Amino acid sequence: MSFTGFKKVGSIGSLRHFEVDMEIDRYIYTAGPLGTKWLEALREGVIKAAKCHRCGGTLFIPPKIYCPTCYSEVEELVDIDQVGYIDHYTVIYRNDNGERLKSPQILALVRFKNVLGGLLHYIDPNDLNKIRKGAKVKPVFKEERKGSITDIKYFKIIEETA
C-alpha cells in the first residue's frame, strides 16, 4: 500500500512531498462479531450504537467489543436517533499535492445525542454556507450499499424548525 507523506522544510509554506510504501497489505483486519452487525446495519441504511448493560446502558459508536466506560464485553446494538450534530469540522480546499480542489470538501466529527464517540465523515459540500458547530445533520446513504462506513455518502445539514 502506498501513502503520501509530507515533511516540513523551513517555513510553513515549504513542504516536501514523498511517497511511502507500507506493509499494511500483508495484514487482514476483521470487524469482529459486533462490528460486522454494525456494518450490516449500515448496509440497511441505519446507524446503530453498541449498548453496555453492565454500567447502566452506556451507548457508544463506533461499536467495540468492550465498553469504554466499564470494560465489560458488549454484544448488543440498538437503534439511535439518526439525527446527529457537528461537534468539530474542517473545510479542505487543497488536495494532498497542494493543488486547489474543484470544490471544497467538509470533514466533521458527527456525534449523536446520549452516545459516546462519533463518526468522522464528509458533510454535503453544498452546505458550506450553513456549516457551524452544533448544526444538526442526518446521513445520506448511497443507493447501492455494501456494508461499509462509505455507505454513508455524506451527512446533510438539516434546517431547524421553530
Domain of 92, CATH number, reads: 2.40.50.140
Query: 23 by DSSP, 3-state: which?
Result: helix
The per-residue pLDDT for 14 is 61
Helix (H) or strand (E) holding 152: strand 152-157
User: Closest Cα partner for 119 from 143, 137, 96?
Assistant: 137
Residue 127 lies in a domain: yes
Residue 100 lies in a domain: yes
User: What is the overall mean pLDDT for the chain?
Assistant: 87
C-beta pairs of 53-59 under 8 Å, 24+ apart in sequence: 58/116, 59/114, 59/115, 59/116
Contact of 52 with 67, CB cutoff 8 Å: yes
Q: CA-CA distance, 43 to 45, in Å (whole number)?
A: 5
Residue 23 lies in a domain: no
Q: What is the pLDDT of residues 2-19, one digit of tens each?
A: 555 555 455 555 666 566
Domain carrying residue 103: 30-157
Residue 20 lies in a domain: no
- Percentage of the chain lying above the pLDDT 70 cut: 80
**Cα angle, residue 103 at apex, residues 102 and 108 outer, rounded to 5°:** 140
Average pLDDT estimate for 150-158? 97
Residue 65 lies in a domain: yes
> Which DSSP category does 34 fall into?
H
Nine-digit cell string for 98: 497542494
Contact of 97 with 119, CB cutoff 8 Å: no
Q: Which residue has the higher pLDDT, 28 or 54?
A: 54
The per-residue pLDDT for 154 is 97
Residue 5 lies in a domain: no
Q: Which residue has the cell 446507524?
A: 47
| Cα–Cα distance list, 162 to 37, 86, 159 (Å) | 37, 20, 10
Question: Model pTM?
Answer: 0.80
Q: What is the pLDDT of residues 98-109, one digit of tens each?
A: 899 999 999 999
Q: Within 13 Å of residue 88, how many CA atoms lie on the same side as its CB?
A: 5
Residue 110 lies in a domain: yes
Residue 19 lies in a domain: no
The per-residue pLDDT for 56 is 87
Q: How many domains does one find in the chain?
A: 1
Q: Which residue has the higher pLDDT, 19 or 75?
A: 75
The per-residue pLDDT for 23 is 62
Helix (H) or strand (E) holding 39: helix 32-43
State yes or no: pLDDT of 162 exceeds 50. Answer: no
Helix (H) or strand (E) holding 140: strand 136-141
